[in-house]
Amino acid sequence: MVGRLEELLRAAFPDATELSVLDRTGGGDHFHVTVASPRFADLSLLDQHRLVYDALAEPLADGTIHELRMTTRGAP
């Protein structure tokens, strides 16, 4: 599952300078994703998180992700 989320994030943020998905509980449904991308540079936190949500829309909608934490920042 971590791999699938990473794939989705890589596809959405090909220019990411940092990208990681942590399975917080080992149960495959509580995740902490971290993305640093130049795309975030001029965006509010709200808009940064919206982009991550967009990238993960499918696993969010189908219930794969039960809980999501995220840390985003403009590159570097």
Q: Which residues sit at the interface with other proteins, rule CB under 8 A?
A: 45-46, 49-50, 53, 57, 60-61, 67-71
Secondary structure of residue 66 in the 3-state scheme: coil
Tokens of 52: 């991550």
| Type and span of the H or E element at 10 | helix 2-12
Query: Smaller CB distance to other proteins: residue 7 or 67?
Result: 67
Query: Smaller CB distance to other proteins: residue 11 or 46?
Result: 46
Q: How far is the CB of 65 from other proteins (least distance, A)?
A: 9
Q: How far is the CB of 3 from other proteins (least distance, A)?
A: 21
Is the Cα torsion angle 34, 59, 38, 50 positive or negative in sign?
negative
